Amino acid sequence: MPKAPIVEMRDIEKSFHGVKALNGLSMDLYPGEVHCLVGENGAGKSTLIKVLTGAHLPNRGTIIVDGVEYPHMTAALSKKLGIGVVYQENLLVPWMSVVENIFVGQEMSRLGVMRHRDEVRRAQELLEKLGLKLKLNQMVANMSVSDQQFLKIIKAISMEPRILIMDEPTSMFNATDAGKVLDLVRRISKQGVSVIYISHFLKEVKQIADRITVIRDGKSIRTYDNRGGDVELDSVVSDMVGRSATMFYQKEQYEIGGTAFEVKDLRVTPDGEPVSFDVRRGEILGVAGMVGAGRTEIANAIFGVRRKYGGRILYEGKELQIKSPRDSVRHRIAYITEDRQKLGLNLNAPVVENLTEVGMQTTIPGFFIRVRNLIPLVRGIIDGLKIKLTSPMMAARNLSGGNQQKVVLGKWLFSNSDIFLFDEPTRGIDVNSKAEFYRVMTELAKEGKTIIMISSDMPELISISDRVMVIAKGRIVKILEKDEISENSIIRYALEVHTA
């Protein structure tokens, strides 16, 4: 391996609303190597690459490219230095064709005239070079998810990067298509392109990595030399999960009742594996899995946000007919979404209006209602959840993140729900707000409510859950009983590196 790295990132720190996503993280990248970054959800991997590409400005640290030091990157500078990226998010234009998406922003022209024929020829050359087959005139909206991912890779390589960052490039692929991506990575690295490869599929990481860096809690824990392909995955997993016992919440113990909520043979895709599980009265069932595992898709299908391709949902032995969120509300199912600002709140509306919007029709008589007259009805919820505000008429956007999340929960408490679906309930909120949220969840469970909690926060899963259901590639890999729950066991099943 050459002595001089092409990229060095030293002591990078990045915080969001007081929460440190990167905490003095350092790494480097050498010419022509494949450097894989691994870690739990929320470890800081994606934040790190956004700092390198100029999408985020670091609070502290230094970036060195080709020996030149930069306090931070910009998108333009990153592109000028030859840094390309294939993001997890879909940044393609759905109403454009394959060839138009490849060259959007870098169109071929001569004397001001677009040269579509030249773009088609160049696109065909790229496909042949990379061993891929796509219909160049097909609209992106009509493409499969896997073909769209290949298109994102082709677009990045068309810019001839010296450094290519790939963030979970195979998360949507079957084994055959994932193999094509790995072959592609090997091919371009042999041509001298340096690759930063982020993946939670440790077996594929071991196949292609020259080095593997484990990131945990915003820090680089250890870097393994894998040029011989002999890194022990057990050691990698152990580095991913180490954490102090002081981070774990002490949950109150109480008696759990019999089976209340059942999901039988649920399919979220036409060819997906059926999902079946049950939740007991007063139980908190944790749902674990890596990004892209399919956890949110299952919750969306249960709540009626997403189409179901089969299966039944039962509560207290009675089958529920759920085709839309309105049906779920009628059956007293609550959904505290992952994205509270976009999906959980009307940010411009007063807190009191947000708290009453779901339960308005069933709880409050009358058609014309003055919002201020609702304040006495929500005082108990505001006090019980300890929502910090100057007035219930205060706009939701002016609350802190933790208090916004409490309002989202509060609107479902007001509607008197029985079944609660929590999707990343404490993401982005401070430690005190988390503890308050855990207290409320525990109180709901003690009252006999049924709770399903999707979380990427490992101490949260272990502290709050009575059982943990681990999802990988859209299927249930394992349901861990209380005495089986540990960081190590959850991560092993989520990464599918468990022993049979």
User: Are 249 and 460 within 8 A, CB to CB?
Assistant: yes
Which tops the pLDDT comparison, 67 or 92? Answer: 67
Compute the radius of gyration of the chain from its Cα atoms.
Answer: 25
pLDDT digits (tens, 9 = 90+) for 365-411: 555 566 677 788 888 888 887 888 888 888 888 887 778 878 888 88
User: Are 375 and 352 within 8 A, CB to CB?
Assistant: yes
CA distances from 117 to 100, 109, 114, 124 (A): 11, 10, 9, 11
Residue 104 has pLDDT above 80, yes or no: no
Residue 500 has pLDDT above 50, yes or no: no
Between strands 211-216 and 34-38, the pairing is parallel
What is the per-residue pLDDT for 90? 63
Residue 89 has pLDDT above 70, yes or no: no
Q: How crowded is residue 348: how many other Cβ atoms within 10 Å of its Cβ?
A: 9
Q: What is the mean pLDDT of residues 440-445?
A: 89
Tell me the residue type at 178.
Answer: A
Cα 453 to Cα 59: distance, rounded to the nearest angstrom: 32
Q: How crowded is residue 13: how many other Cβ atoms within 10 Å of its Cβ?
A: 16
Cα 156 to Cα 144: distance, rounded to the nearest angstrom: 19
User: Residues 390, 391, 397, 399: is their CA dihedral positive or negative?
Assistant: positive
Task: Give the least confident one: 89-93, 118-122, 383-387.
Answer: 89-93
Cα 188 to Cα 185: distance, rounded to the nearest angstrom: 5
Residue 110 has pLDDT above 80, yes or no: no
In the structure encoding, which two tokens stand for residue 454, read together? Answer: 């999707």
Segments making up each domain of the chain, as ranges: 7-244, 246-494
Residue 364 has pLDDT above 60, yes or no: no
The string of DSSP codes covering 231-277 is --HHHHHHHHH---GGGS--PPP----SEEEEEEEE-SSTTPPPEEE
User: Are 266 and 433 within 8 A, CB to CB?
Assistant: no
The string of DSSP codes covering 103-129 is HTTS--EETTEE-HHHHHHHHHHHHHH
Query: What are φ and ψ of residue 114, in 5° steps?
Result: -65, 140
In the structure encoding, which two tokens stand for residue 312, read together? Answer: 């039944």
Please name the residues in contact with 450: beta carbons below 8 A apart, sequence gap of 6 or more: 260, 261, 279, 280, 281, 282, 283, 315, 418, 419, 420
User: What is the value of pTM for the model shown?
Assistant: 0.69
Confidence of residue 230 (pLDDT cuts 50, 70, 90): confident
Q: How crowded is residue 65: how many other Cβ atoms within 10 Å of its Cβ?
A: 22
* Residue whose entry in the numeric block shows the structure tokens 């007293």: 332
Burial label, 393 (beta-carbon count in 10 A; 0-12, 13-18, 19+):
middle
User: Are 276 and 266 within 8 A, CB to CB?
Assistant: yes
What is the per-residue pLDDT for 340? 65
Q: What is the mean pLDDT of residues 314-330?
A: 91
Cα 277 to Cα 286: distance, rounded to the nearest angstrom: 12
pLDDT digits (tens, 9 = 90+) for 190-204: 888 999 999 888 888
Cα within 13 Å of Cα(46), Cβ side: 13
User: Are 107 and 155 within 8 A, CB to CB?
Assistant: no
CA distances from 31 to 82, 161, 199 (A): 12, 12, 20
Tell me the residue type at 305.
Answer: V
Topology, domain 7-244:
Rossmann fold (3.40.50)
Residue 472 has pLDDT above 70, yes or no: yes
User: Residues 52, 54, 57, 61: is their CA dihedral positive or negative?
Assistant: positive
pLDDT digits (tens, 9 = 90+) for 19-42: 788 999 999 999 999 999 998 877
Cα 424 to Cα 401: distance, rounded to the nearest angstrom: 13
Residue 244 has pLDDT above 70, yes or no: no
Confidence of residue 304 (pLDDT cuts 50, 70, 90): very high
SS3 state of residue 79: helix
SS3 state of residue 493: helix
Q: What is the mean pLDDT of residues 7-29?
A: 88
- CATH class as words, domain 246-494: alpha beta
Q: What is the mean pLDDT of residues 165-176?
A: 77
Of 105, 85, 273, the C-alpha closest to 174 is: 273
Asked if the domains 7-244 and 246-494 are classified in one and the same CATH topology, the answer is yes
Residues shown for the chain: 500
Residue 176 has pLDDT above 80, yes or no: no
